[in-house]
Structure 1
Amino acid sequence: MIDAAALEHLKKLARLELGVEQTAQMGAEINKVLEYFEKLSAVNTDGIEEMARPIALENVFRPDTVGPSFSFEEAMSQAVQQEDGFFRVPRVIE
C-alpha cells in the first residue's frame, strides 16, 4: 500500500495543502483504490480479448437528404438584428 513518503510526494505533485487528518483520510482512500486494483489484477484474463468498452458500439448514420430550406434573404428577414450578413445576438459569455 502507499507509504507516508509516497503520499507526501503525491500531495506535492497535486499541489495539495492538507492537514494531518485530511492526509490520513486521503491515504486511506488511495489504499482502498489500490486494494481494488490488486483484486482486478488477480482475475485470470487469459483468452479474453482486450477491448475499450464492454459492448460493441458503432455510429449509425442516416444518409443526408437535401430538403426544402430558406433562402439567405428569407432567413435574414427573420433576424431581430443583423450585422454584415450575420445574425446579431446578445452576448452569452462575459
Structure 2
Amino acid sequence: MDVTPELVRHLAELSRLRLSEEEIERVIPELRSVLGYFERISDLDVDGLEEMVRPIFSANVLRPDVAAAGLTQEEALAMAPDKEDGFFKLPRVVEEGR
C-alpha cells in the first residue's frame, strides 16, 4: 500500500484530525515505516508455533460476585459536596443546542 498525501488526508478526516500540509508531508514517511514493519511481521513463518496470549503467565484474581447491601440514598448524598432535590448536583458539561 502506497502512502500518499490523499491517504493521509483521508485518515486524518476519519480520525477527526486537522493536519497542515507540513504535517501531512511529515507523517508520510512515518506511516510508510510503520506499514513496513507490519509487512515484515506478516512475512514471518509462524506455522507450528504455539499460540500465546501473554509472554508471561498471569491469572486474574477475582472476588466472588455476590450481591451485598449498598448505600442508602441518604448515605450516598451525605458524602456529596453539592446536592439538589435528592440528587447529586454537578456542573453543566454539555452545551445546550448541540
TM exceeding 0.5: yes
Instruction: Report the counterpart of residue 27 of structure 2 in structure 1.
Output: 26
Instruction: Report the counterpart of residue 35 of structure 1 in structure 2.
Output: 36
Q: TM-score, normalised by structure 1?
A: 0.58
CA distance in 2, matches of 1:51, 1:31: 28
Contact 2:3-2:28 within 8 A present in 1 as well? yes
Shift of 1:10: 0.7
CA distance in 1, matches of 2:8, 2:35: 13
May I ask how many residue pairs the two structures share in their alignment? 74
Shift of 1:47: 0.8
CA distance in 2, matches of 1:22, 1:8: 10
* Unpaired stretches in structure 1, ≥5 consecutive residues: 64-82
Contact 2:8-2:28 within 8 A present in 1 as well? yes
Post-superposition CA distance 1:29-49 (Å, at most 9, x none): 211111111121122111112
4+ aligned runs moved over 4 Å, structure 1: 60-63
CA distance in 1, matches of 2:34, 2:81: 44
User: Considering only aligned residues, what root-mean-square deviation do their CA atoms show, in Å?
Assistant: 2.7
Report which of the two structures shows the higher radius of gyration computed on alpha carbons: 1
Aligned-residue sequence identity (percent) comes to: 35
Instruction: Report the counterpart of residue 81 of structure 2 in structure 1.
Output: 91
